[in-house]
Structure 1
Amino acid sequence: MTSPDKLAGVRYVVDDVQACIDFYTTHLGFTLNTSAAPAFADVTRGPLRLLLSGPASSGSRATPDDATTPGRNRIHLIVDDLDSEIDRLRAAGLSFRSDVVAGPGGRQVLIADPVGNLIELFQPAHTPAATTPAKP
């Protein structure tokens, strides 16, 4: 698994990403990290990264049909290798609440804790490594 010292991410499925950006940054001391509104944004406050997923984001589509609000919210954990994590968790006897879903930001799958709270395992899409310009 990825190092636990990274930000803790919680995904909120929302109807209006921009309104939520405004609310969290104006009223609750969050800082905008990324905006791809109206589909997605993330805001941070201390060690918390709040992912705001609108109806067009892949994060809002992966929720099982039987999970209704407020049960659509889930903890979002970033992993380095989603396939390895799935294999490891299946070997431990865990079952999954969704198939793997891919979107422009990466791939994800849902599991549930013992009482049914959803946990999203997310592998970000790899971005090409930046190249260093040659020195003249």
Structure 2
Amino acid sequence: MNFASVRIITDDVDRLVAFYEKVLGVSAERPAPVFAELVVPSCTLAIGHSETVHLFGAGSAVAANNRTVIIEFRVQDVDAEFERLKPFVGEWVKEPATMPWGNRAALFRDPDGNLVNLFAPVTEEAIERFSGRG
């Protein structure tokens, strides 16, 4: 089994796609107006309109109501990304800091309130832990 993607359900696909295009620096693929994928080498971030949830027969998902998942992206330089993203990120939860487990990280919320973490391993142990990962 291979991990394929994370999908965010939203009531405003266009707004969230535009935001993540800026964050990730890639253009979204839009096979339908209610669905988009932002593909980077290590993962795919999918964004679907709340109208799409019923297609899976999975009950309901409430857009902009996530309180348990953090979407994480490994970056080369957390401080540089923080400076680059400051102009359009509305809510920074944590400015760049080094975490006890050896990652430098910055945490913010996307326009729907989902938590997004940018991190880079910086200690010897953290760098070793991530060696060999994509």
For the criterion TM > 0.5, the same-fold answer is no
Q: TM-score range by the shorter chain?
A: 0.3 to 0.5
TM-score of the two chains, using structure 2 as the length reference: 0.41
